[in-house]
Amino acid sequence: MNQLSFFSADTVPPEIADLDGLLAGPGQIAATADRARVSVVVDAQWRADAIASMIEDAGLVAEITRSDEGSPLVRTASVPELAVLAARWTRGAVKSVPVGWIPGPRALRAWALAAGRAENDGSRFVLDLDPHAPDTHPVLAQSLMRAGIAPTLFGTRGNQPGLRIVGHRRLTRLVENIGEPPAGAEAREAWPRV
């Protein structure tokens, strides 16, 4: 039986800052003068449904649609409440990790929902990074280390960069933070196992 951490994503109240986890992965933020919208393209409907639920738990409206390539796309409306998030995660028009950012449990869960995948029968877990924001990769590796989960950065010269988490202690710490997978066999298969 798994025992969840006192600070697991399942026990921490939702807030807009949880969406930081989408931006740590492939999520994008589009801002105007006083509004912003967060969006992320995912590879499975269960991911889109779970992310939409997180967005709504944070008090925003979520929309699920399809990308031009036919993949599920989840996005918020363009709202003033996300302007602060946009200011933290951009430098000019470029995605940038906020200085000193440490992902909390719900942000880690959002990242895992958007871009996490089990490898090697669950003995390793990868959090994919945004291939269009290479300057964020080493900073996000450091952020994850500060959260107590030391990853290995890989694929920085390819199309699918990521942070690989290996080892029982690290995977346990990750699972304690992100909580249980969403319902369904596909989600359980993609989730880390300890």
Which helix (DSSP H) or strand (DSSP E) does residue 171 occupy? helix 168-178
Average pLDDT over residues 51-67: 97
**3 pLDDT exceeds 70?**
no
Would you give the DSSP letter of residue 48? Answer: H
- 52: Cβ–Cβ under 8 A, 6 or more apart, which residues? 62, 63, 64, 74
Higher pLDDT, 4 or 159: 159
Query: Which tokens is 115 given?
Result: 């871009």
Q: Find the length of the chain.
A: 194
Average pLDDT over residues 1-9: 47
Q: Which amino acid is at 82?
A: L
